[in-house]
Chains A and B, each alone.
Chain A
Amino acid sequence: MSISKTDICNLALNHLAMKSLVNIDTETTPSATACNLYYEPVRDDTFREFRWPFATVRAALVLTTDEVLGWTYIYLYPVKAVTIWSVFDESTVDDKDTQEYEVIFIPGTNRRVICTQKETAYAEYTYKVEDTTIYDAKFAQAIGYKLAAMLAHQLTGSAELGLKLLEAYQGIVGEAKRISYSERLKKPVQTSSYQNSRG
């Protein structure tokens, strides 16, 4: 299944009982204008919900010369990252979710940076996938619901409808999370606190 931006917007418009669009990029109808306005923020919000497997990336970070008090190494925030989930190095890859880091804004260079104590740092983050054809079906549905929820008031005048659609959105995201867990083969090693205390 390959899905287009117009399809996703039409999913949203269908939830609102609105007429479908033919081409979101050329139409100037209120529906098309509103979809265009909300599509990207809604998509990015949906990316942030959790580690969508189809969009999760693990890559080396680029070191900068910026300086931040309290941190040794300052890395560039990846341009295509929506959310950073963890920052680690080769030695801590199996325990990546517990490693310390901080995302900070540097006004002088007008950019976000990732601060860690790791000399050669990697990050796991959600990549801003713009090619809709590789979207997970659940992801597309989720955007559809969220977009509908956001547009409900504007396009139909009904705020209640928006709340219902938001619930539906959360349901879909929940389902997507559950399914995604089964796609993670490398599970963290579970050790009891007793073992830990034994060193």
Chain B
Amino acid sequence: MTVVRKIQTSFSSGELSPSLYSRVDLNRYNTGLRKCKNFIVHPHGGVSNRAGTKHVAETKDSTKKSRLVKHIFSETQAYQLEFGDEYVRFFRNHGQLGLTIADTDAWTTPTAYVVGDFVDNGGLVYYCIVAHTSGTFATDLAAGKWVQQSIYEVPTPYAGADIFDLKFERSADVLYIFHKDYKTRTLSRYGDTDWRVAEYESEDGPFMSENISTALTMAVSAVTGTAVDVTTVGSILDDDHVNALFKMVHYIPGQVATTAFTSTASSTEISCFTTWRLISHGTWTGKIRVEKSTDNGSTWTALRDFSSGDDFNINTYGTEDIEANPYPFLVRCTCYSYTSGTANVDLTTDNYFNTGIIKMLTVASATAGTAEVLTAVGTTAATVAWSEGAWSTYRGFPSVGAFNEDRLCFAATEDEPMNIWMTRTGNYESFGVSSTLLATDAINIKLLARQLNAVNNLISLGDLAAMSTGSEWKIGADRTTLTPSTVYARPQSYRGTSDVTPAIIGNQMIYVQANGTVVRNYSYDYSSDSYTGSDLRILSEHLFNNYNIVEMDYQQDPNSIVWIVRDDGIMLSLTYMEEQDVIAWSWHETEGDIESVSVIPQDGYDEVWMTVNRDGGIFVEYMEQRLTSTDPSDQYYVDCGLQYDNSITDITGITAATPPVVTTTADHGLSDGDLIDIEGVVGMTELNGNRYKVANKAAKTFELTEEDTGDDIVGADYTAYVSGAEVRKCYSTFSGLSHLEGQTVAILGNGEVYPQQVVASGEITISRACSKISVGLPYTSDFETLNVEMPIKTGTLQGRPVKIANVTFRLLSSRGGWIGPNEDTLYEAFTPERLSLGTAPLLFSGDVREGLGAGYESGGRIFYRQVDPLPVTISAVIPELVAY
């Protein structure tokens, strides 16, 4: 058989499951890979090795897991929040936020300090870890009440074990935090280093269903007051009801105030809810007014005026707008001008139900306690019509929330796992319901399913999607606004959803099925008028079997990738572009376990942040952007590392002389004998890419001499300097690597790969001084094609020994790599061409044909491995193959 060439131009199906190795009939086989490790798949079909991660900081306590949570105020102001055991710390612009002396108040005594307070004392910043009233600073410090810490931190009530169960919703500066065992809280941003945690307070609900047992009644000792006694018949109260709300409904019969006016006077005050009636009789001359008070009689406003000159009697009624007057009020009638006669006036009000709300302060026993009255109770009589607040330590708190149609929606307490509560529209702290239902009233809806499955995610997709462990629900209103009278909840599917917060992609979501190992999408399907989705991992199920998914987030730019953390510390990436039929899985490994992932916008790009449990601790890191720069010295492909690149750019001139003299605006800080690299010069381009030795320096000037000999550079004939010079000092020793102490690191210095070294005393020393360097943990990126298949005259290539003698790689801005027919038989290929000694080989774009070194093997595959800290992008492979 002659040699034939096959081109694979796309890898947009990513790494396929071993169970698909035989499915050469699938379209996706032609765009799939056998291995795709530490490579990301571009939506266009090519693959690139992922960029490295940069070290930002160690988490507060490396013995415990912490979680990164994004808080995006706007595209230009985005924060990563490190939630750990009872604290939160903050990151922005690639750095951890900290406090300086200027940001803090001086320590004073005596002052009542609470946990979370920062003070400065003796030029240092201290953080209060035990609440106390200050005495002597040194004594307090020795007693462990303060710790020296300039990292900004806010205490939270969330225990370390509960961190990954927290759910979040965001509204501009406010982050809402939900957990079934903690009262809902808000974390509000007042400034970069001024964040405040507050409890979410609602004073009017929500409430559970009304009590229906006549044996259980509740009464208060006074209808208003900040500390009234509560007594019940039957056991109702529990210690955990402290701070719980109770609603008490009393029937208030119609009331009458009968007055015979013979002078200016007011009637007795009677309570009214919406409607009052007024009748007079007799013969009188004067003026009578109906008045209303909403503050229990302190101030009165006139409602209606009547006058009679012995010729008129009143028979009328009035109704107050319920929306403007949601609570009962007082009415009276006043004769404010009297001339003669007797005006016999009957002011009556209609009967109504009074809804009072109390908040428990203490609970003495199951039948007694004290409470604060939030909304006046109708009477002190016992009532069976009471309702318990839906959220309390006793009943649990909502475990998840989301904004939808201008309501803040909550779902799933321990006690009512399938309940959804929505606030009034526009008022995210009110669950008020009017006696005549209004469109803006709060909504309380139960999902009626065959099984009791807790709602664990609420997502607004136009309609509100309520995802429970057994089913997925759409909560909405048919082609109208969501109101208490139009709302419905309809099950859309019965897959079940895990606790992992779904990722939103455009108008759909990607969620994890209840078993924790299946990833599905979920979007509105016009043809079936329902929300539906498909299994996205079916072709790559091997990446999920026996693993659980911990967390995921979506990176829209640049490649539309969902990053998914697996419970074994591996991170999966799913390149997902439904409209282009791109569903490409790959996996990412680093020297450590990835525990949390979160994506925030940064510089017009979505940046992936993660916490990684490594040998030296748990670190907060972010994945560097893959550069468009093809300068090899700018590349960053190491993990948990640092990049040194400090340039002096304020150069105002370089003389065309012998030697050339460089002038800077500010002090340059260089010393005689320092080696420097110069690039970017416009005009005097003779200097670009060269290394010089500094001589005869002054604060703002220095001369250029030969690197080796120290002889003056002969620059008299150089072109005049225009602008743009970047001067970088060269170093042989690089410090700041203490977080990688004792570990072997990969080094890229000025674009050259240096031998790997072990970090000692937080430093490494390289053989030749460099001005730009990337240092960090090495990682390898693997790429392997599936068994080659193409139609041939005699049937299929499968089962025939196939030999791939040569393969052409179509590359973009790449350097380095090992290839071979399988993982165990690799050799170093793509030997870069060096333009000149001392200049790093450039990145290469184009076709490279390399021998693969394969004999006749069953399969016919191509394996590529990048071991160097350098980029590679493979846009196609073209094997030359022959079958036996």
- Chain A residues within CB distance 8 Å of chain B: 18-19, 22, 28-31, 33, 154-158, 160
Contact = CB atoms under 8 A, between A and B. Distances in A.
A19 B805 contact: no
Contact of A156 (B806, B828, B853): B806
Contacts of B74: none
A155 B806 contact: yes
A6 B883 CA distance: 31
5 contacts: A29-B850, A29-B851, A157-B803, A157-B880, A158-B882
Given A28-B827, A29-B829, A157-B880, A18 B803 contact: no
B851 A18 contact: yes
Contacts of A158: 2-3, 805, 882
A22 B831 contact: yes
B853 A157 contact: no
A157 B881 contact: yes
Contacts of A19: 849-851
Contact of B851 (A22, A31, A160): A31
Contact of B805 (A22, A29, A156): A156
B834 to A, nearest CB: 11
Contacts of B443: none
B827 A155 contact: no
Nearest to B825: A30
Interface residues of B, number: 20
Nearest to A161: B3
Given A19-B850, A33-B853, A156-B806, 6 more contacts: A19-B851, A29-B828, A29-B851, A155-B805, A158-B882, A160-B2
B851 to A, nearest CB: 4
Interface in B825-852: 827-829, 831, 849-852
- 8 A-B pairs closest in CB distance: A30-B853, A157-B882, A157-B805, A30-B851, A157-B3, A28-B827, A158-B3, A31-B851
Contacts of B881: 157
A155 to B, nearest CB: 6
B827 A18 contact: no
A84 to B, nearest CB: 37
Interface in B563-585: none
Interface in B1-50: 2-3
Contact of A28 (B805, B806, B828, B849): B828
B419 to A, nearest CB: 67
B856 to A, nearest CB: 9
Contacts of B804: 157
Interface in B120-151: none
Given A18-B806, A155-B805, A156-B805, A30 B831 contact: no
Interface in B677-709: none
Contacts of B853: 29-30, 33
B835 to A, nearest CB: 16
A160 B2 CA distance: 8
A156 B853 CA distance: 10
Contacts of A155: 805-806, 851
Contacts of B880: 156-157
Contacts of A28: 827-828
Contacts of A29: 827-829, 850-851, 853
A156 to B, nearest CB: 5
Nearest to A31: B851
Q: Which of B805, B851, B881 has the most CB of A within 10 A?
A: B851
A19 B809 CA distance: 14
A29 B829 CA distance: 7
A158 B1 CA distance: 8
B860 to A, nearest CB: 11
A186 to B, nearest CB: 48
B805 A154 contact: yes
B849 A30 contact: no
Q: Which of A19, A30, A157 has the most CB of B within 10 A?
A: A157
Interface string B511-539: 00000000000000000000000000000
Interface in B845-879: 849-855
A156 B882 CA distance: 9
A141 to B, nearest CB: 23
Contacts of A31: 851
Nearest to A160: B2
A37 to B, nearest CB: 12
Interface in B786-834: 803-806, 827-829, 831
A14 to B, nearest CB: 14
B819 to A, nearest CB: 9
A165 to B, nearest CB: 15
Contacts of B806: 18, 155-157
A28 B881 CA distance: 22
A33 B829 CA distance: 13
Contacts of B3: 156-158
Nearest to B881: A157
Contacts of A33: 827, 853
Contacts of B849: 19
A194 B805 CA distance: 62
Nearest to B856: A157
